[in-house]
A = this chain, B = another copy of it.
Amino acid sequence: MNYIKNRSNAPIGVFDSGLGGLTVVREIRRVLPREDIIYFGDLARLPYGIKSERQVIEFSKQNASFLLEKGVKALVVACNTSASASLSILKRLYSAPIIDVIVPTAEEALRRTQSGRIGVIGTQATISSGAYEKAIKRVRKNAVIFSNVCSLFVPLVEEGRLSGPIARAVANEYLKDFGKKRIDVIILGCTHYPLLKGVIRGVVGKDVELIDSAPSTVLRLRNELRERGLLAERKRGGLKIFVSDRPRNFIKVGERFLGQKMDSVKLVRL
């Protein structure tokens, strides 16, 4: 471990199984524009959501090591599946501040709900882990949680089918029962899902609030850095992107998440 001593101008490390975590990067750049960011997307081994917990933990440890060896001052686990499987292990292993998407998003949902009835959607692995349920119940024991696995949402987004008859049919199938549950917030428990907000809203209606992980996660990150005196002081931070594979269309897909050009992308083998 070459984990370099905290320095406020060191970069923030962000990893995800793929490119969905760039929605979190986009928010960091908006809220904390002075920060340098190093992103790692494990495109060679994605998706994580259908793999075993043991395998996801192994991948997550490798991704974290890669970023920590690059001297990041804090680590954002921008993948719900990774966070749900490995957060406590990563926190035990590494001394750097580690921010996940699950706890901040669960707390945000609790701030927003009136009814205390919360929907959670995510990958097979995230939902099976019960991580959102635990994070919510830790704060409010009597919250009522309805969880749904939405396996086809990730491939839909990767294929760029963000609207149209297939996206609508898939969203309807997964979410039609939510209508009867008197839920007033739904946690989008996967960084791919914000791109499907349109079709999701089409099924659940406009009175249900959709909670995206990025804003609350980045607020948590900002607080954590501020408390530790680690906010960067330079004028404008940069972004370096590392990926473990460069599949066809990955630039197009990545720019959809990031909302800007991906200039510096390097291929690495873990």
What sequence of 0s and 1s flags, for each residue 238-268 of chain A, a beta carbon within 8 Å of any chain B beta carbon? 0000000111110000000000000000000
Task: Say if the beta carbon of A45 comes within 8 Å of chain B.
Answer: yes
Shortest Cβ distance from residue A123 to the other chain B in the assembled complex, whole angstroms = 11
How far apart are A252's CB and chain B's nearest CB, in angstroms? 12
Interface string of A36-64 (1 = CB under 8 A from B): 00000001110000111001000000000
Question: Of B50, B128, B169, which is within 8 A of A166 by CB?
Answer: B169
Most chain-B Cβ atoms within 10 A of its Cβ — which of A45, A51, A151, A249? A51
Does any Cβ of B come within 8 Å of A156's Cβ? yes
Contact B248 A128, beta carbon cutoff 8 Å:
yes
A residues 146-178 with Cβ under 8 Å of B?
Answer: 151-152, 154-156, 158-159, 161, 164-166, 169-170, 173
- Residue A6 lies at the interface, judged by CB distance under 8 Å to chain B: no
A157→B155 CA distance, assembly (Å): 13
How many chain copies does the complex carry? Answer: 2
CB-nearest residue of chain B relative to A243?
B52
Which B residues touch A43, using CB under 8 A? 51
Residue among B151, B159, B247 making CB contact with A52, cutoff 8 Å: B247
Question: Is A113 close to B, CB under 8 A?
Answer: no
A124 within 8 A of B: yes
Q: Flag if B156 contacts A51 (CB, 8 Å).
A: no
Q: Is the CB of B248 within 8 A of A55?
A: no
Cα A124 to Cα B154 in complex, Å, equals: 16
Interface residues of A in 17-31 (CB under 8 A from B): none
Docked-complex contact A166 and B170, CB < 8 angstroms = yes
Q: Is the CB of B165 within 8 A of A52?
A: no
Q: Is the CB of B44 within 8 A of A51?
A: yes
Determine the chain B residues whose CB is within 8 A of the CB of A170 once the complex forms. Answer: 166, 169
CA distance A161 to B50 in the complex (A): 15
On chain B, the residues within 8 Å of A55 by CB distance are 44, 245, 247
Question: Shortest CB–CB separation between residue A24 and chain B, in angstroms?
Answer: 22
**B156, A50: Cβ atoms under 8 Å?**
no
Q: List 29 A-B contacts (CB under 8 A).
A: A43-B51, A44-B45, A44-B51, A44-B55, A50-B158, A50-B248, A51-B245, A51-B247, A52-B245, A52-B246, A52-B248, A55-B247, A124-B248, A128-B248, A151-B155, A151-B158, A151-B159, A152-B152, A152-B156, A152-B166, A154-B155, A155-B155, A164-B173, A165-B169, A166-B166, A166-B169, A166-B170, A166-B173, A169-B170
